[in-house]
Amino acid sequence: MLITLASATEEHSIRFHQYHLEDMGRVRVRKYCEIEDREVDQGEIDKGYQLTKEQVIPISDEELRDLPLPTTKAIEIVAFAPLDSVDPLKIGEGYCLAPSGQVAAKAYKLLRMALDRSSEVAVAKYAWSGRERLGLLRVREDTIVLHAMRWPDEIRSPEELLPPPVELSDEEIDGALALMDTMTREDLEGEEFQDTYTEPSRRSSKRSEEHREPPKLQEPEAKPGQIVDLMAALNESVQRARASRGEDADVHELPKKKAAKKQPAKKATAKKTTKKTAAKKTSGRRPRSA
């Protein structure tokens, strides 16, 4: 089955270049030879593998082309699996696959319908930029999408990033679940999911072209560091989430963590006098005169 690839996503980010401020000349990265102390052109450059600090093994494009790469002109399906069994961290950019010609259309449709009915994805090997890669094939509407995947040894272990052990109460976990329930949505459409940086950057560039001063953004007021009451913060977040969705913001208070019962402070003991009789309680009557 002959297929063609087309990127399934578009890049809309604003890209800035570097310029010399004195004369606005473009600043570029030059390819420079450290030994000859001069700039070299592309025709003088080839690939190499650094074996040691002092030894480099040159490798030409012809040698790379002669390396065994069975998936050079094919996508080889090696397994099928449920999508939820694939770690999302392994899934990369996506490409839409299109059949190349009428002959490939039937095989393409057969694979698409089989994947759709089985609710599974295909794991495949393919060649890209001179090396073998792992990919994931899934159905999106009427199209087969190929996602680049990372090899298992390319995934870093997160153990070194884990926070120190902390204690959480059931009330705090229930509060977090209540916030999640308030913020749960059926779709990811709306103003919250729009790019708030790219379009203002374009307008700012346009104003600069017209020699107009772009408006200054209001900086958020810096608040001094303070100890946060987790339960109060969760309760406040739930109220804000409901209010932003037009729901009743008057929610029940989340269960608060029980505070430790304070012990009454002990009264300071009176100083002892040197006379033992001073500790005795005196009567209300006046003493008899001698």
Query: Mind listing the domains of the chain with CATH numbers?
Result: 3-7+68-154 (2.40.290.10)
Q: CA torsion angle for 84, 90, 96, 100 (degrees, to 10)?
A: -100
The per-residue pLDDT for 274 is: 42
- pLDDT at position 149: 92
By CB atoms closer than 10 A (0-12, 13-18, 19+), residue 135 is: buried
Q: Any alpha helices (H) in the chain, and if so which ranges?
A: 61-65, 102-118, 170-183, 198-209, 230-244
Q: Is the dihedral of CA 155, 187, 83, 144 positive or negative?
A: negative
DSSP β-ladder status, 32-33 and 120-128:
unpaired
Give, in degrees to the nearest 5, the angle at Cα 284 between 283 and 289. Answer: 85
Phi, psi of 225 (to 5 degrees): -65, 140
Which pLDDT value is given to residue 225?
53
Nearest to 76 by CA among 138, 115, 123: 123
Here the tokens at position 218 are: 């209001």
Give the separation between CA 250 and CA 242, rounded to whole angstroms.
Answer: 9
Q: Find out whether 2 and 103 touch, Cβ atoms under 8 Å.
A: yes
The token pair that represents 131 in the structure block: 């090396």
Question: Cα separation of 108 and 105, whole Å?
Answer: 5
Rg (CA), the chain: 35
3-state SS of the chain: helix, strand, coil percent to 5? 30, 20, 50
Kindly give, in sequence order, each residue whose CB lies less than 8 Å from that of residue 276, ignoring residues fewer than 6 positions away. Answer: none
**What string of pLDDT tens digits covers the 290 residues of the chain?**
566 777 777 777 777 888 888 888 888 888 989 888 899 998 888 888 888 888 888 877 777 666 655 555 678 888 999 998 998 888 988 999 888 877 788 888 999 999 999 989 999 998 877 778 899 999 998 899 999 999 888 888 888 778 888 888 898 888 888 888 888 888 878 777 777 777 767 666 666 656 555 555 455 555 555 555 777 777 777 777 777 766 654 544 444 444 444 454 444 444 444 444 444 444 444 444 44
Assess contact for 178 and 254: CB atoms under 8 A. Answer: yes
In the prediction, which pLDDT does 251 show?
Answer: 46
